[in-house]
Amino acid sequence: MAILQKKITRRIRILRALVIILLSMYSINLFSMQVLRKELFVSEAARVSIQSTRIPAPRGEIYDRSGQYLLAGNKEAYSVYITPSELPDSRRQSVIGHLSRLLSIPIKDIESKLPEASSYSYGRIALAKNASLAAITEIASKIDEFPGVSWTSKPLRDYPELRSLSNVIGYVGNITRDEYKLLYNKGYTLEDFTGKAGIEYSYEDLLKGKDGWISKTVDVHGKDISGNEAKMQAPVPGKRLVLSIDQNIQTIAEDTLGKRQGSVIVLKPATGEILAMATYPYYDSRAFMSDNAGQAYLDLLNDPEKPMLERAYQSSYPPASTFKTVLTAAVLEEGFISPEKTIYCAGEIFYGGRSWSCWIKRPGHGPLNLPNALAQSCDIYYWTVGRDYIGIENIVSYAQDFGYGKPTGIDLPGENIGLLPTPTWKEEKYNVPWTPGDTMNVSIGQGYLLASPLQVADMMAMIVNNGIIYKPHILKEVRDPTTGALINQVQPEVLHKSPISAKTFNTLRTYLRGVIEHGSATVPLNTKVVQIAGKTGTGEIGLKDRWHSWFASFGPYDAPPKDQIVVVTMIEASNPWEWWGPYAANVIYQAIFAGQSASDAAKTVGVKLQGSTLSGRRE
């Protein structure tokens, strides 16, 4: 019995000791938590209990060069929320019904987002992200009928009717997961919009503002318990961009181009500023702000007329006889042949077992020297000079000097640099050698040679500037979004400086004026308000009833470069043939320098803006 009593006593002592040890451990841990590690747990509790809400920053506005015409702005978009814990069971169906009517959302879709009526949830649930102002106004005016309902506003991109400037301004869209991986460290979230094309894409860093935030203290259920202690940081809007685009000139260019597939560029050669960049067909940037943005994108992408293509710099074509300007410069600079030496044009030559016809004039131009050959755009003259005197190596060298086969560096995405073919390129591409016939084709801007209208515009700018090409650009100024104060002004940047002599350029300008005075452009270029110099071009694409129609020009001819503009019109062969390129340029010059609209200018020079069949001439 005594032994049993001793065993029980020992066990009690052991149990007591264990209890004391456990209590001591808990006491030490409690002391550590409350005293030694107090600050850590206090800060952790504060972190968990503070709820921060992002306030999206308005995207920067975009204006034309005047700073008055808004090309891209913002409008308020309203998101509607409901807090289930604040929605009485007795009024649940009534509120859901009202919201369904105002937000145009099926009742079943709203109910699917809400927890069971018995659930006491303080969490706010989003019902609509783009509610109308009318819906918000009705909710606000009858707020007692909408217990638990709240709303917030966020800026959403807004565009006016941009016409073809949509292809320049671009559009914004929801950030993709792949984009988010690259941009999350710049403060982006999956709820953000980001530029997808045009200026919106190129200057995303400037246009995106800095988001603000509001923080409040909530309990474990998410209920706001901060009272008046909530903190807020206001968002900072994106920068205001002022473009080089002149809205008046842009409208003139668009009206003159009409519904013809092609493009028009108006450029300031002394600075590289793009005053107008029209293209047709075009898309509407507003299509990407709708609820069906994804389908709109697919429809545009699959459209056979390619309205998302900015034809002024994202397409390339055979530059045709506008390229004869390059060979003319080579002859003047190098003296490959005397400018006064004549070559006889009988309207046809035979080479390589086939006939080559000078289809500008049959039975031929007769004897022509260099200035008259350029004025009359004689193919036989340039075939002969290119093949027998200049050679493909020198043609390529001079073409590169004028910017062919190279990027212009324009501040827009997706530039097409065209193609400047060489013997090496052809051998690598087709595994066949270069032939003199290839040289003949390149000599008149045909064959494998391709150029964008912007590259052709740079060629004319180089002639105006005595050998300097300034980098073409759309952005003119960056301004403060609130005060409008100037932050940065884009300065002219030399893209290329040619070693060709000023004497050569001076003579070349005289020759190009001769194209209008007594050459191929005499008939269409009849405006009296300004003297123009330029070169026509008709690009062959293998069809017998239509060709690409080019006119590359500058004016006023007798003005200093700072007062001149370059105009390049390019009408695709997909349109019915009407040789509209030079006629379009004529209207544009008349409108700009006479202060007229495109329609009034067209009446003044005696042409129709759309459907004109004034001439069947080519070149």
Please report the pLDDT score of residue 320 as a whole number: 96
Residue percentage of the chain with pLDDT more than 90: 63
Rounded distance between C-alpha atoms, residue 432 and residue 425, angstroms: 10
Please report the pLDDT score of residue 52 as a whole number: 63
3-state DSSP of 328-356: HHHHHHHCCCCCCCCEEECCEEEECCEEE
Residue percentage of the chain with pLDDT more than 70: 89
Contact status, residue 260 vs residue 557, Cβ threshold 8 Å: no
Within 10 angstroms of residue 448's Cβ, the number of other Cβ atoms is 16
> Would you mind telling me the total number of residues written for the chain in this entry?
619
Kindly tell me the sign of the dihedral angle through the C-alpha atoms of 520, 576, 314, 476.
positive
SS3 of residue 333 by DSSP:
helix
Among the residues of 537-610, which ranges form H helices?
580-594, 598-605
Rounded distance between C-alpha atoms, residue 249 and residue 228, angstroms: 55
* Rg of the chain taking only CA atoms, in angstroms: 36
SS3 of residue 534 by DSSP:
strand
Please report, for residues 199, 205, 240, 585, the alpha-carbon distance to residue 74 in angstroms, rounded to integers and kept in the order given.
16, 17, 12, 36
Kindly tell me the sign of the dihedral angle through the C-alpha atoms of 66, 68, 69, 73.
positive
What amino acid is encoded at 172 in this protein? Answer: V
Q: Please calculate the CA angle 163-167-169 and round it to the nearest 5 degrees.
A: 90
Provide the strand spans (E) within 409-493: 468-470, 475-479, 486-489
- 183-222 burial, b for 16+ CB within 10 Å, e for fewer? beeeebeeebbbbbbbbbbbbbebbbbebeeeebbbeeee
| pLDDT digit string, tens, across residues 147-201 | 888 887 778 899 999 999 999 999 999 888 889 888 888 888 877 889 999 999 9
Instruction: Give the residue from 617, 459, 452 showing the smallest Cα distance to 538.
Output: 617
The helix, strand and coil proportions of the chain, stated in percent and rounded to the nearest 5, come to 40, 20, 40
Within 10 angstroms of residue 599's Cβ, the number of other Cβ atoms is 15
| pLDDT digit string, tens, across residues 566-613 | 999 999 998 888 999 999 999 999 999 999 999 999 999 999 887 433
Rounded distance between C-alpha atoms, residue 74 and residue 59, angstroms: 7
For residue 489, pLDDT over 50 is answered with yes
| pLDDT digit string, tens, across residues 412-456 | 999 999 999 999 999 999 999 999 999 999 999 999 999 999 999
Please report the pLDDT score of residue 153 as a whole number: 77
SS3 of residue 246 by DSSP:
coil
Rounded distance between C-alpha atoms, residue 136 and residue 328, angstroms: 68
CA 131 and chain centroid, separation: 29
Tokens of 259: 């519904």
Q: Which residue has the higher pLDDT, 397 or 288?
A: 397
Confidence of residue 217 (pLDDT cuts 50, 70, 90): low
Identify the structural domains of the chain with CATH numbers, from first to last.
52-243 (3.90.1310.10), 247-283+308-605 (3.40.710.10)
